[in-house]
């Protein structure tokens, strides 16, 4: 009966394109973050941070458009609360990446350690999987792609927890400058929060998969 209903449901031309834009945008933000943290030239790092800020504003506009469509449309491709939750989670990823990059600049963090770069690499991997999974919502033909992406995102979040906790433990053990310790700890925890939001998005995708596959 569910499959028959889907057959006669009008093809979604509003939400899916917006979600794909959001997925692509958050992947670009994560890639810009990795470039910013990997840059040895401070001016180059500032350029990447400005790009992150621009992309974060783009993401805000996409999220606003999704919420606007949600308020205008009675028929949606999947549950309204899942649309809201997925849009919010993707937006949160962008917000925390932006906050991480902004704090690096505001706090004048010069020492970008291996842990920060590893967290940025994990974010790129997780956002890549998120982008792939969101594209599969268009037809639900390759549900294995969505399921596998969610598993990898959850695994990435576990890795991020370990990397962050170990880095903070080493800060308390070896960093003698209290101000530097606070700055580094804040950036590490904000980066880790971005990975948490990736997991939140994956959890919403799993919920959508269970209800619609």
What is the tens place of the pLDDT at every residue in 70-126? 998 878 888 999 999 999 999 999 999 999 999 999 999 999 999 999 999 999 999
Query: pLDDT digit string (tens) for 117-174?
Result: 999 999 999 999 999 999 999 888 889 999 999 999 999 999 999 999 999 999 999 9
CA-nearest of 189, 186, 118 to 156 is: 118
- The first and second tokens of residue 32, run together, are 């810009």
Instruction: Show me where the domains of the chain are located.
Output: 13-212
Q: Which residue blocks in the chain are alpha helix, DSSP H?
A: 2-8, 15-38, 42-72, 80-106, 114-136, 143-174, 178-212
Considering the domain delimited by 13-212, tell me its CATH architecture.
Up-down Bundle (1.20)
Q: Taking the model in full, what pTM does it have?
A: 0.92
- The first and second tokens of residue 22, run together, are 């959001």
Residue pair 126/33 in contact by the 8 Å Cβ criterion: no
pLDDT tier for residue 10 given thresholds of 50, 70 and 90: very low
């Amino acid at each position: 009966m569910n499959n028959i209903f889907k057959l006669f449901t009008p093809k979604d031309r509003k939400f899916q394109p917006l979600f794909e834009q959001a997925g692509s945008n958050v992947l670009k933000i994560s890639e810009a973050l990795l470039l910013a943290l990997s840059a040895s030239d401070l001016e180059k790092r500032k350029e990447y941070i400005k790009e992150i800020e621009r992309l974060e504003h783009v993401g805000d506009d996409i999220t606003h458009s999704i919420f606007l469509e949600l308020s205008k449309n009675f028929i949606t491709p999947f549950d309204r609360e899942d649309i809201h939750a997925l849009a919010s989670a993707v937006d949160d990823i962008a917000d925390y990446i932006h906050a991480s990059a902004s704090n690096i600049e505001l706090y004048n963090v010069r020492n970008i350690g291996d842990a920060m770069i590893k967290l940025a690499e994990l974010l790129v991997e997780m956002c890549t999987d998120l982008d792939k999974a969101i594209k599969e919502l268009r037809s639900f033909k390759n549900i294995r792609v969505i399921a596998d992406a969610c598993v990898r995102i959850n695994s990435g979040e576990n890795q991020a927890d370990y990397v962050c906790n170990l880095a903070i433990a080493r800060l308390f053990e070896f960093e003698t400058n209290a101000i530097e310790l606070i700055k580094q700890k804040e950036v590490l925890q904000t980066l880790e929060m971005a990975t948490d939001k990736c997991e939140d998005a994956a959890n919403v995708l799993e919920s959508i998969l269970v209800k619609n596959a």
